[in-house]
Amino acid sequence: MANKKDYYEVLGVSQDASGDDIKKAYRKLAVRYHPDKNPNDPEAAEKFREATEAYEILKDDAKRKQYDQFGHAAFDGSSGGFGGGFGDGFSGMDLSDALKAFMGDFGGDSFLGDIFGSSYAGKRKKHGTVSRGKNVQIKLPLTLKEMHDGVVKIIKIRHKIECEQCGASGSKSGVYKNCPQCSGSGRSRKVVQSVFGQMVQETVCHRCAGTGKAVDDPCNACAGTGVVSGEDKIEVKIPAGVSEGNYITVEGKGDKGVNNGDSGDLVVIVIEKDDSIFTRHGIDLITEMEISFSEAALGCERMIETFSDKIKVKVSAGTQTGKVMKIAGRGMPILHNEKTKGDILIKIYVKTPENLSKEEKKLFEELQLLEQKPKSFFHKIMNLGQ
Ligand SMILES: [Zn+2]
Ligand SMILES: [Zn+2]
């Protein structure tokens, strides 16, 4: 607690910042440091967590006042009874709390727009009715090469599609009438008792599932719903630089809504397939290279196949096992900034020879003799060799 940062400092706002300024400042930080955008980056995750914790306190007028007056002590319960004001007190957030809080404050949609630059968030609100079909979520395994290059995939899914028989109307004749239950409003009201007294609660009409429509002559193929199970082929463009856990939303390609409601979205979640050569670490690619005793001692050249080209790697004479060689700028690209790439890191392993042939054994024995000679002489031989 003692070395917790000042919440205003964390968000980069002044003490008299307006609620709006605080929200803007937080949103900017949260989007920049969100773990989806910074995979395998504990520093970014910590910044995200810190900013979210600060925002959760400062966005709330009452909590902000407490904080202004008592600092962090207002929430840690150690200051003698103040923590009680907020239930169990507030001893800080962990990352999963922070992710939940962020989703609660901004939702997934607005964030999606930021990652993939789509106008998804804006379009979403037009049709608020429950007749909208469900979002369909699928996992899409990709090779590192596909993630490096970007790729267009055709995805086959089975989901709710429009009933062709009735043109999604659900009615044989194609004629709707107003739902008799809700008179076409799609909502039903009921009065409930609560601690605040009587309240009117509005819910979705059960009879028409919120569409406000009813049919007298239901279609046989879809039992009047306007949707049937079917197969769809959907093209999904994956940008270069995605990583596991990123998701891409294809608007209107989820389940078709009943009674000709809007379709939900298809949410494609990226999964990384194992690669036989490289292991991914953020935007860097790590691989291992085995070289022989003589190659380690004398130096050697090897060709390495990257995802974009072949590169000659020069191993210098006297290389030890465990040495890491770096090829800058040939790793994975950064999402939406694909010209900038991470590095390739090559870990060198010097292989000790086994099952020596007669000739090899002889050579090693000769080498051993040389090594046992006085040092000055040994050095001389090495120098001659160079
Ligand atoms: Zn039908
Ligand atoms: Zn109804």
Ligand nearest to the CA of 179: 2
Ligand nearest to the CA of 130: 2
Q: What is the pLDDT of residue 97?
A: 76
Whole-number Å distance, alpha carbon 172 to ligand 1 midpoint, is: 7
- Average pLDDT score over residue span 260-283: 93
Q: Examine the pLDDT at 75 and tell me if it is beyond 80.
A: no
Ligand nearest to the CA of 163: 1
Stronger pLDDT, 258 or 276, i.e. the higher one: 276
3-state secondary structure of 115: helix
Torsion sign across C-alpha atoms 275, 277, 281, 284: negative
Ligand nearest to the CA of 203: 2
Q: What is the pLDDT of residue 378?
A: 57
Q: Which of 69, 55, 71, 66 is nearest to 10 (CA)?
A: 55
d(CA 271, CA 253): 20
Q: What is the pLDDT of residue 275?
A: 95
pLDDT more than 90, % of the chain: 50
131 with 257: CB under 8 angstroms? yes
- Average pLDDT score over residue span 270-297: 95
Whole-number Å distance, alpha carbon 250 to ligand 1 midpoint, is: 25
Stronger pLDDT, 112 or 131, i.e. the higher one: 131
- Average pLDDT score over residue span 221-235: 92
Ligand nearest to the CA of 221: 1
Q: What is the pLDDT of residue 256?
A: 93
Torsion sign across C-alpha atoms 14, 70, 86, 89: positive
Q: What is the pLDDT of residue 70?
A: 84
Whole-number Å distance, alpha carbon 268 to ligand 2 midpoint, is: 33
- Tell me: the pLDDT tens digits for 27-60? 889 888 887 777 777 888 889 889 999 999 999 8
Whole-number Å distance, alpha carbon 182 to ligand 2 midpoint, is: 4
Q: What is the pLDDT of residue 87?
A: 38
Whole-number Å distance, alpha carbon 132 to ligand 2 midpoint, is: 15
CA 250 to each of CA 69, 139, 150, 165, 219: distance values in angstroms, whole numbers, following the listed order: 48, 13, 16, 26, 29
Q: What is the pLDDT of residue 375?
A: 63
176 with 214: CB under 8 angstroms? yes
- Tell me: the pLDDT tens digits for 302-343? 999 999 899 999 999 999 999 999 999 999 999 989 899 999
Whole-number Å distance, alpha carbon 224 to ligand 1 midpoint, is: 6
Stronger pLDDT, 70 or 97, i.e. the higher one: 70
- Average pLDDT score over residue span 246-263: 89
d(CA 140, CA 151): 12
The one-letter code for the residue type at 361 is K
207 with 181: CB under 8 angstroms? yes
d(CA 385, CA 331): 36
Whole-number Å distance, alpha carbon 124 to ligand 1 midpoint, is: 26
Ligand nearest to the CA of 129: 2
The one-letter code for the residue type at 31 is V
Q: What is the pLDDT of residue 111?
A: 45
Whole-number Å distance, alpha carbon 215 to ligand 1 midpoint, is: 11
- Average pLDDT score over residue span 77-95: 50
Whole-number Å distance, alpha carbon 185 to ligand 2 midpoint, is: 7
Q: What is the pLDDT of residue 177?
A: 85
Torsion sign across C-alpha atoms 375, 381, 384, 386: negative
Whole-number Å distance, alpha carbon 216 to ligand 1 midpoint, is: 13
258 with 129: CB under 8 angstroms? no
- Tell me: the pLDDT tens digits for 155-197? 999 999 999 999 888 888 878 888 888 888 888 877 777 666 7
Per-residue buried b or exposed e for 179-208, using 16+ beta carbons within 10 Å of the residue's own CB: beebebebebeeeeeeeeeeeeeeebbeeb
Ligand nearest to the CA of 174: 1
Ligand nearest to the CA of 223: 1
Angle ∠(344,147,275) on CA atoms, nearest 5? 60
- Average pLDDT score over residue span 228-242: 94
Whole-number Å distance, alpha carbon 108 to ligand 2 midpoint, is: 30
Whole-number Å distance, alpha carbon 229 to ligand 2 midpoint, is: 24
Whole-number Å distance, alpha carbon 166 to ligand 2 midpoint, is: 21
Ligand nearest to the CA of 183: 2
Ligand nearest to the CA of 205: 2
> Using 50, 70 and 90 to split pLDDT, how confident is the model at 238?
very high
Q: What is the pLDDT of residue 179?
A: 87
Average pLDDT, the chain: 83
d(CA 279, CA 288): 10
Ligand nearest to the CA of 211: 2
Whole-number Å distance, alpha carbon 207 to ligand 2 midpoint, is: 5
Which of 6-20, 124-138, 147-161, 204-218 shows the lowest per-residue confidence on average (mean pLDDT)? Answer: 124-138
Q: What is the pLDDT of residue 122?
A: 38
The DSSP bridge partners found for residue 344 are: 285, 327
Q: What is the pLDDT of residue 213?
A: 82
Stronger pLDDT, 109 or 187, i.e. the higher one: 187
Ligand nearest to the CA of 258: 1
Ligand nearest to the CA of 228: 1
Whole-number Å distance, alpha carbon 221 to ligand 2 midpoint, is: 22
